[in-house]
Structure 1
Amino acid sequence: MIVEIASTLAFGGLAGYSFVKTNGNKPVKSDSDKILKIFNNAGLSKGGETIRILRKEEIDNGMMYVFQLPLGLGSDEIISKKKVLEDGLNTRSRLTEIHFRDIKNIKHLKWDKTILKQLKKIFTKTQMINKEVEIEFDGTLRLKVYDSPQDEKIPWEETMLQPGTWKVLIGKKRAELIYHDFDKTKHLIIAGVPGSGKSVVMKLIITSLILSQPDNVSFSLIDLKGGPAFARFKDCKQVENFAVNNKEALDVLKKVEEDMERVYQDVLVAKGFEDITEAGIKERHFLVIDEAADLAGDKEAVEILTNIVRKGRGSGHYVVYATQYPTVQTVASQIKRNIPARLTYVLDSVIASNAVLDTKGAEDLPDDIPGRGIYKVAKMNHFQTILIENTEIDKQVAPYINIKPRKEEEHAKTDIEGTKDGKHSLEFKTL
């Protein structure tokens, strides 16, 4: 009984000491106070007006702060300060925390001259604050401050698929899964330095499309790093063209362009349809290029690729254009203009970030967290790529390996005239 009373008194005394240390003459500032000060120090004001807080509310693992921006101050200026906000909120400090789950340990204390050290060990600790910030704008600025970082490894699950659609899972934004819908936004640019997650997300996209639309999807895969990224897919029945160097790539581009033009002439124009959706055609062909920057010096290849990007939206020929070195030279303006969807991992400069996103931000992504990226269509979303292991890919695509038809069978199956080599990239059937 005496021990319990002494323990309670010791606990109360330590708790009171903790309160004084953290709430004494200079109260610890709240995150909202810190944020407003950071905004002020960063010069984020307009015409003498400053950003003001409207409200705050609790969210899972953090708080959301809603701010009103002064007229003339754009949300892009705030988004560009994301790293500054995180650095300001993640200042190192001595935190005295009372761990109520450890109260039971008081009964096991050794009441001798080391008692204070024992109490301190139970009830206090030094830690590094590690908060993350998400910024959204919908007329008001919504700034979400999370008390801990986002998961760095999110394993793929079969339940994440969207069968029968062209929606492909690319990652997770806290509690929200992020899908790219190829039937809404036909093409996609992917960028990122080596090892950042670019190859992982491309394999995820290809696997997801095969599993979601096994009878309606076909691929032309171009891997200008020699073929390792796509090698496990080359014998899938859905893969019709596979290239590992510039010469082979040019041949593939020509085949895809020919097929695209055939669809326009034989299906769309001939039958009076605006696009394949109106024609009721289910098939889609994906041209996936890893290290597309290597094509930048080939004028003919760039012209063909630009034509596919420009017209392929209507014919069902979609392009995934990936590069480690995004610049105004490697991502041609005509290609970029026709691909509003961008996905990037960490890049080595603001210039590279601007080449992909039309704004900075990719250079500030953590280079020690593979798969942490930004996905942008109408707005930018920070996300963590879903990780699908190579062993899982092999298991999932195994049913589609080594069952390609022979050449003579391809000729027999082709139901649209005009192909020169009997290939049937898309067997279009109007409903």
Structure 2
Amino acid sequence: MLFEVLSTGSMLGVLGASYYYKTNLNDDSDKILKIAENCGLYKKDDKMRLYRRNKIKDKITKEVVGTEYVFKIPLGLELKDFVDKHGKFKDGLNNRSVRRINLKDFRSLKFDASLPKQVRAILENRIQLSKEIEMEYDGMLIMRVYDEGLQSSYDLTTEIINGAKSWQVPLGVTLKGQVVHDFEKGPHVLIGGATDMGKSNILNVIITVLLSNQPVDVEFTLIDLKGGLEFGVYEKISQVKNFATNAEEAKTALENVKDEMERMFNKLRSSGKKNVKALGVTKRHFVIIDESAELSSAGEQDKDEKALKVECENLIKDIARRGRASGIRLLYCTQYPTAETVSSQVKRNLITRISLAVDTATASTVVIDEGGAENLPLIQGRAIYKRHRCTEMQAYYISDDIIDKTVKPHINLRARREDASVSLGKETPKTGGNYSTKFEET
């Protein structure tokens, strides 16, 4: 027994060291060059040449997650030639399995006669490679090879929420690390994607993080055109100033927002300031429209309904165009991204885009101005986030438990305020679920 244990220990040391050197000295550059040659990506005797390599580190954990290779490519070839072969590069780099030793497995070892067998099972554990590739060109071909692709789900935790600063919202995870959107830098966002692909989850992440981190300064106008089902959990919180579930209520809510926008512009003009930040106003008002296609006048046959929707469209265009300076942030969301439902006048002011999976390249172009979202895997929350360039991400999943814990204290606060108003003989005014909003100065 003692001999077997010692033999096992020796085997562990040798194989462990071997595994360490294999995994840490692994270099995919030779394989990339061979794949390129096999795919005909050369001109006569002019072939790809490796210029340099750098380790890629996770922005948050600082752990090495892959390697960046920079190649000089033959004259006459372009980035598209290599992007078109993306699948061949990816499959070529993943065409084998490797030994993967998880040191945690050794903690559960049973020190009995089966110990050698247990250790061998751990040491001989093999997994299929799942490397992912990104490519871009800046005079040289940059190919980033990540050790692992994105997982199908990442949970939003209280630690992640608390780690966000000011008006930042952690949206999800990319191959490089975390995507954090700053609403002070990108105030308006266009979100599109097919049904049941995770759009509502992203909205819940945004609302909950803002409510958690900015409970005093955040205000919401929620326009839920799917019967109020998506935003119903937030309807009674004190931060919600306008709540609408149909076109008529949406018009009233948007008019309320425009009135406040005009009042803020009057303050800015009188003070000589250009925006609320310069004025010292800390309030930010988020107008979130879920299923904005329901407010589109395109194809509407009823005369009165069409006129109502045209008014809503004009209000949205005005808020998108002028809202930033007055502290208003617009989130315009639809599961039917077409040129009719997302007008060019609104779109040009919504610089930040998030596209979940869509069914056509045309729909992808409507949201992110280029194709690509139609090729996303059909995984809930898988999306393309575009600020200056497109990045594939897996959006954080937020549980009902976190939403409920965040919302509950603010529902109680509103109830106490309304009860106090009734006890003083002052009934809180309500019109179609809409509440007037006020920006405050500090």
Normalising to structure 2: TM-score of the pair?
A: 0.74
Seen in structure 2, the aligned counterparts of structure 1 residues 88 and 195 have a Cα distance that, compared at 3 Å, is farther
Displacement after TM superposition at 1:219 (Å): 0.5
Displacement after TM superposition at 1:314 (Å): 1.0
- Given candidates 31, 35, 43, the residue that maps to 2:28 is 31
Residue-by-residue CA offset, 1:40-93 (whole Å, 9 max, x unaligned): 6777779997654212244424332223456787657766765554344334x5
CA distance in 2: counterparts of 1:157 and 1:122, whole angstroms: 31
CA contact (8 A) 2:352 2:387 kept: yes
Which residue in 1 is equivalent to 2:66?
62
Which residue in 2 is equivalent to 1:26?
none
- Which moved further from structure 2: 310-319 or 130-139? 130-139
CA contact (8 A) 1:374 1:381 kept: yes
Q: Which ranges of structure 1 fall in alignment gaps of 5 or more residues?
A: 16-28, 110-119, 410-420
Whichever residue aligns with residue 53 of structure 1, its letter is L
Displacement after TM superposition at 1:192 (Å): 1.8
CA distance in 1: counterparts of 2:100 and 2:209, whole angstroms: 47
Residue-by-residue CA offset, 1:370-397 (whole Å, 9 max, x unaligned): 2222211112222222222011111122
CA distance in 1: counterparts of 2:316 and 2:353, whole angstroms: 17
Whichever residue aligns with residue 227 of structure 1, its letter is G
Which residue in 1 is equivalent to 2:210?
209
Seen in structure 2, the aligned counterparts of structure 1 residues 366 and 271 have a Cα distance that, compared at 3 Å, is same
Whichever residue aligns with residue 132 of structure 1, its letter is E
CA contact (8 A) 1:63 1:145 kept: yes
Displacement after TM superposition at 1:400 (Å): 0.8
CA contact (8 A) 1:57 1:65 kept: yes
1:172 matches 2:183: no
Which residue in 2 is equivalent to 1:322?
333
Aligned length: 392
Matched residue of 2:395: which SS? strand
Displacement after TM superposition at 1:163 (Å): 6.3
Displacement after TM superposition at 1:198 (Å): 1.1
Q: How does 1:265-414 map to 2 (within 5 A)?
A: 266-297=266-297, 298-368=309-379, 370-404=380-414, 405-406=417-418
Matched residue of 2:336: which SS? coil
Seen in structure 2, the aligned counterparts of structure 1 residues 163 and 146 have a Cα distance that, compared at 3 Å, is closer
CA distance in 2: counterparts of 1:425 and 1:254, whole angstroms: 11
Q: CA RMSD in A?
A: 4.2
CA contact (8 A) 2:354 2:386 kept: yes
- Which moved further from structure 2: 330-339 or 72-81? 72-81
CA contact (8 A) 1:134 1:382 kept: no
Whichever residue aligns with residue 291 of structure 1, its letter is E
CA contact (8 A) 1:289 1:321 kept: yes
CA distance in 2: counterparts of 1:361 and 1:178, whole angstroms: 19
Whichever residue aligns with residue 337 of structure 1, its letter is R
Displacement after TM superposition at 1:220 (Å): 0.5
Whichever residue aligns with residue 278 of structure 1, its letter is A
CA distance in 2: counterparts of 1:166 and 1:351, whole angstroms: 32
Normalising to structure 1: TM-score of the pair?
A: 0.76
Matched residue of 1:250: which SS? helix
Displacement after TM superposition at 1:299 (Å): 2.4
Q: Which ranges of structure 2 fall in alignment gaps of 5 or more residues?
A: 16-25, 57-63, 115-119, 298-308, 422-432
- Which moved further from structure 2: 343-352 or 154-163? 154-163
CA contact (8 A) 1:164 1:213 kept: no
1:90 matches 2:94: yes
- Which moved further from structure 2: 125-134 or 194-203? 125-134
CA distance in 2: counterparts of 1:279 and 1:96, whole angstroms: 59
Which residue in 1 is equivalent to 2:151?
151
CA distance in 1: counterparts of 2:45 and 2:328, whole angstroms: 52
CA distance in 1: counterparts of 2:54 and 2:39, whole angstroms: 25
